[in-house]
Amino acid sequence: MKKVLFALAAMIVMAACGNKQAVAPAESGENSNEVAFEVAKNYFFKNNQEIPSSPKITTSEEFGKLFGMATTMGKEGKPTEIDFTNQFVLAIVLPITNLATEINPTKLEEKGDTLFYFYDTKVGEAQTYSTRPISLIILDKKFADKQMVMVNEQVKDYYAAIERYLAEQIAGYYAKGEYSVPVYQEVAVDDSDSTDIRIWGDFWVYNYKQEGDTLKCVSGGSHPGLMHVCQMGEYFYVSAFEQVEDGSRFLPSAKRIFGEYFEAFQIHHSDGDEHESLRHDVLRAFVRDHNLTAIMYQDYGWPVKVI
């Protein structure tokens, strides 16, 4: 069964399921403890910086390179003080977007050598301006060496986990647009083991900007391979992604990764009409769900198509 979702790009780091630590704290035999944290307010992510590969920021020098102070008038306008001698920061940074977006940390739980960071992201309608949403929380530095599992509470099936991963981990490598729209073509799935759900597929990401009534594609590409997804209680996340290599290594790596499903992959990968139909359906849903005014989409150098 094919299922396609969409999501905005974000920064997230996830732990592997193989060590079994990614079982939900409430379902594990190990004790879990809720960890106190403070939300850091009145900071912004600097425009000339790349989103870091890890959410952990442990030094004032690293933090200063990435974030600036957004001081405003009034008692609540001063940036939250951070003492990096005794504290560190976990940061979630979303790409620039004109969709109303809010990141809400909900809780942190410690279980063994792992910290589970639960948060939710609410994405609303298009605005007349663009912002880069961020969320910063401050923790005691005694937790800095813990393995981090970031758990988005909206991701409650493995298809959504794949889409989230594509948008958060892959789309950011391409030229930025206003909207990131992944398209997912499933080849095969093995969900017999909840700690390593395996989904073979042809995974695409497209970044768009809107000009008038048209979504214009500014970047994107194909990333076929094997997604490993872990179930953690009612939530899911991608723990690893085996990608098919480029160039002369494409066919050998595709045969190795897809194995018995290689022929099925070739059929999907070479069927441009199937992919374009799927992409069209995803864009139509995206425009509808975000109340966008776009009625057409266009790739560079190609004719405009109706959504």
Q: What is the reported pLDDT for 2?
A: 34
Q: What is the reported pLDDT for 149?
A: 81
Q: What is the reported pLDDT for 48?
A: 81
Q: What is the reported pLDDT for 307?
A: 94
Interval 6-27 mean pLDDT: 38
Q: What is the reported pLDDT for 221?
A: 94
Q: How do residues 126-164 score in pLDDT, each as one tens digit?
A: 888 888 889 999 999 999 999 888 888 777 888 888 987
For residue 290, what pLDDT band results from cuts at 50, 70 and 90?
confident
**Three-state secondary structure along 33-93?**
EECCCEEECCEEECCCCCCCCCCEECCHHHHHHHEEECCCCCHHHCCCCCCCCCEEEEEEE
Task: State the chain's mean pLDDT as an integer.
Answer: 86
Joined together, the tokens standing for residue 230 give: 């872990």
For residue 165, what pLDDT band results from cuts at 50, 70 and 90?
confident
What is the residue-wise DSSP string for 140-152?
Answer: EGGGTTSEEEEEE
CA distance 167 to 122: 15
Q: How do residues 181-190 score in pLDDT, each as one tens digit?
A: 999 999 999 9
**Alpha-carbon distances of 163 from 95, 143, 159, rounded to whole Å:** 16, 30, 6
Question: Which stretch of 7-21, 91-105, 196-210, 261-275 has the lowest confidence by average pLDDT?
Answer: 7-21
Q: What is the reported pLDDT for 31?
A: 67
Q: How do residues 70-101 score in pLDDT, each as one tens digit?
A: 877 777 789 999 999 999 999 998 877 888 88
For residue 35, what pLDDT band results from cuts at 50, 70 and 90?
very high
Q: Which of the residue ranges 37-51, 153-167, 170-184 has the most confident prediction, judged by mean pLDDT?
A: 37-51
User: What would you measure as the largest C-alpha separation in the chain, in angstroms?
Assistant: 64
